[in-house]
Amino acid sequence: MSTKQITTTTIFNYVPNYIGYLRVITAVISFQLMKSHPLYCTLVYCISCLLDALDGHAARYYNQTSRFGAVLDMVTDRCTTSSLICFLCVLYPDYALVFQLLVSLDLASHYMHMYATLQTGGKSHKNIDKESSYLLNLYYTNRYVLFTMCAFNEVFYVALYLYYFPLYNVSIFGEYYSIAGILAAICFPFYLFKQSTNVIQLVRAAVLLAELDIEDLQNKKD
């Protein structure tokens, strides 16, 4: 295919982008089921999250990477998780402030990180050298670490969601415990790691942008 034949429709029809569209559709369906059908909601929500692991493979396999696809992927991630957290505010109103702060941290850190990357000439928000941040470099460049941390982060929120509904309990030494509660406890350390990367990402982006401001001021003086 020659360059002249490539149009916006070509990009929109990329296989990984179709996976992205399917992620959006399944996420919206899960939102619709969230109030009254927790098990079906969880199943569809998890399908949406698992598709996130496929679009990257499809992009590499078909050689169909695109800026649109990268942004679609990130925006879908942020919107899906934020929507679930919003519903957690409804289920657990006493912890609404905590959930609001978590949403704010997630959105702010990713937006500032993406903006700082573009302003400094980077092509991808995942290209981070070890000298800049070893933890972020490990998080973004190691696919297994990235998938695992994102998976545990989502499962933690899903477990909190399921914990509200009296679905299944398990007996341990004669005491009954919520399976969702146990799952949340298992995921919590990994969840904290994910939130730590958000904080580091936010601080790093703020420093990069401030350094650019310094350069601009110095250039004006010169």
Identify whether residues 101 and 207 lie together within a single domain.
Answer: yes
Q: Quick one: pLDDT at residue 122?
A: 66
Identify whether residues 197 and 135 lie together within a single domain.
Answer: yes
Q: Does the structure show a pLDDT above 60 at 2?
A: no
Identify whether residues 106 and 194 lie together within a single domain.
Answer: yes
Last residue of a domain, one of 91, 112, 144: 91
The string of pLDDT tens digits covering residues 130-174 is 555 777 777 777 888 888 999 999 999 999 999 998 776 666 666
Mean pLDDT (whole number) for 122-130? 60
Give dist(CA 111, CA 118) in Å, integer: 11
Q: 44 near 26, Cβ under 8 Å?
A: yes
Q: Which of 61, 52, 51 is nearest to 14 (CA)?
A: 61
Residues known to be catalytic = 77
Identify whether residues 96 and 198 lie together within a single domain.
Answer: yes
Q: Quick one: pLDDT at residue 1?
A: 46
Identify whether residues 48 and 146 lie together within a single domain.
Answer: no
Overall number of domains in the chain: 2
Identify whether residues 199 and 100 lie together within a single domain.
Answer: yes
The string of pLDDT tens digits covering residues 5-64 is 889 999 999 999 999 999 999 999 999 999 999 999 999 999 999 998 898 889 989 999
Identify whether residues 66 and 111 lie together within a single domain.
Answer: no
Last residue of a domain, one of 91, 116, 135: 91
Identify whether residues 38 and 127 lie together within a single domain.
Answer: no
The whole model's pTM is what?
A: 0.87
Mean pLDDT (whole number) for 180-184? 92
Give dist(CA 196, CA 13) in Å, integer: 36
What is the DSSP code string of 111-152?
HHHHHHHHHTT-S-TT---TTT-HHHHHHHH-HHHHHHHHHH
| Percentages of the chain per state (helix, strand, coil), in multiples of 5 | 80, 5, 20
The parent domain of residue 216 ranges over 92-222
The string of pLDDT tens digits covering residues 50-100 is 998 898 889 989 999 998 998 999 999 999 999 999 999 999 999 999 999
Angle ∠(179,78,187) on CA atoms, nearest 5: 25
